[in-house]
Amino acid sequence: MQQDILINWSPQETRVAVVEYGAVQELHVERTLERGLVGNVYLGKVVRVLPGMQSAFIDIGLDRAAFLHVADLMSSINSRHADADGTSQGTAPAAQPIEKQLFEGQAMMVQVLKDPIGTKGARLTAQVSIAGRLLVFLPQDNHIGVSQKIPTAQREELRQRLQTLTADMGGGFILRTNGEDATNAELGEDIAYLRKTWARIKAAALRLPPTSVLHQDLSLLQRVLRDMVVENTQSIRIDSREQFEELNTFATEFMPATLQRLQLHSGERPIFDLFNIDEEIAKALGRRVELKSGGYLIIDQTEALTTVDVNTGGFVGARNFDDTIFKTNLEASQAIARQLRLRNLGGIVIVDFIDMIKDNHRDAVLAEFQKQLARDRIKTNVNGFSALGLLEMTRKRTRESLAHQLCEPCSACMGKGVVKTARSVGYDILREILREARQFNPKEFRVIASPKVIELFLDEESQHLAGLSDFIGKPISLQSEAAMAQEQYDIVLL
């Protein structure tokens, strides 16, 4: 499929949409004040070692300490002064227990593997890797590898070629997918860039205090050229002249093949209006997704997993009910795969397709779903249908979902998605007044609540309010407060 990449830039935010034949497939947002940390290298400080978990918490200057497991620790880089040239011969994780390798207050170089998500701190590794255009440099490793996406028949030849180019240099390299057809000169340029970057990181580690940033990963704009451009990308359009020129400079140095696809959008209409991107973002934040057939999806995201419920809705176009269900599920499998990419939903995903009686229908839906997932640049794993008829799958978490990036829990319902009815709140107030009357002896009770609750007390619940007033022997006055949410109230003792 032909692909266009649209970039909307402003000083506070960069937004990227990947569009195929007019339909948005991916959305990426990077805010200047909330930029992701994956790939950043820090001089960390050990704040706590946990022998029972074989882990340690490392201070890298964030609100929460980051997490390092012994499996991600290399014995060659236990301190800022160890192995100054960064050319360790070992490739396996250190065999010693973590308490034998780390101590509180120790400074060490670490790299972020996963951004902080929810209540979890960042995940770290002590084995630094630096990504270039064609190669990934492993300064503390001697491994020479080739991307598994490159056909098996070519891998050994490419590995031998890379081994020859990097002989006696120290450090390891992995050939990325887009380096498959690179010339020796192009690979040499990437090697030089990566080694120069590593030299700057080592120098900074000796100069800067603990919790300092030693290296930042590329911005979203630069990662578009490095990671998102594929063979069928026909254009990369950006609406900022300054950023267009910076991308041109970056592309000229590192990714010349993308230069001819870079375009400056200077039209009167905003670039995202061309494909209704803002409308797609609004839809991607909702629970309900309409299908062209009349069916629909309900998508609910929780802390542990995401559930997708498929419904036929008003779709009655097929000859019989089985065909209606089958066609709805087929369309849903395409829509769900797209929504996973669009919303960047990761972790466990449970899909409740409409029950299918025929095995061939179920097999066809599963095959279509796997076909659509194959287009995803993020790793997915489909476990098939469970005994209850639910399809179980996982999608690797790489960053916060779109909803978590752009939204926060509702201040009225605190993320529950529902609020108590006015009557429920009214009865809570009546119980609270009775409770207070048994402990205190004020002259009067004043109820301050939302207009809807006060209106209920003045109308349908007036008899109950009067009855309570007579029972406790105290007057109860009412005060409406428009700024209060429905579940909020105060009882003032006068």
* Residue 410 backbone dihedrals phi, psi, to 5 degrees: -65, 135
Taking the C-alpha atoms of residue 63 and residue 208, their distance in angstroms, rounded to an integer, is 20
For residue 413 the two structure tokens come to 């319902």
Element (H, E) at 184: helix 184-207
pLDDT in tens, 185-232: 888 888 988 988 899 899 999 999 999 999 988 889 988 988 788 888
**pLDDT at residue number 467:** 94
pLDDT at 316: 57
Q: Rounded distance, CA 137 to CA 244, Å?
A: 28
Ordered domains of the chain (ranges, CATH)? 3-35+219-278 (3.30.420.60), 41-215 (2.40.50.140), 285-406 (no CATH), 422-493 (3.40.1260.20)
- Alpha carbon 272 to chain centroid distance? 22
Residue 351 pLDDT more than 90?
A: yes
Q: Are 127 and 68 in contact (CB under 8 A)?
A: no
Q: What is the mean pLDDT of residues 270-281?
A: 89
> Residue range 143-167: average pLDDT?
87
Q: What number is the average pLDDT over the span 338-352?
A: 93
pLDDT of residue 169: 83
Strands 489-493 and 347-352: unpaired
pLDDT of residue 85: 34
CB atoms within 10 A of CB 311: 17
Name the region of 43 (left: φ>0; alpha: ψ -120 to 50; beta: rest): beta
CA gap 287, 297 in Å, rounded: 8
Confidence of residue 333 (pLDDT cuts 50, 70, 90): very high
Mean pLDDT in residue range 23-45: 89
> Is 141's pLDDT higher than 80?
yes
**DSSP-assigned letters across all residues of 429-442:** HHHHHHHHHHH---
The H or E element spanning position 131 is strand 130-131
Question: CA–CA separation, 486 vs 389, rounded Å?
Answer: 40
Average pLDDT over every residue of 289-317: 85
Calpha distance 93→22 (Å, rounded): 47
Residues sharing a CB contact under 8 Å with residue 269, sequence separation 6 or more, in sequence order: none
Range 345-363 average pLDDT: 91
Q: Residue 259 pLDDT > 70, yes or no? A: yes
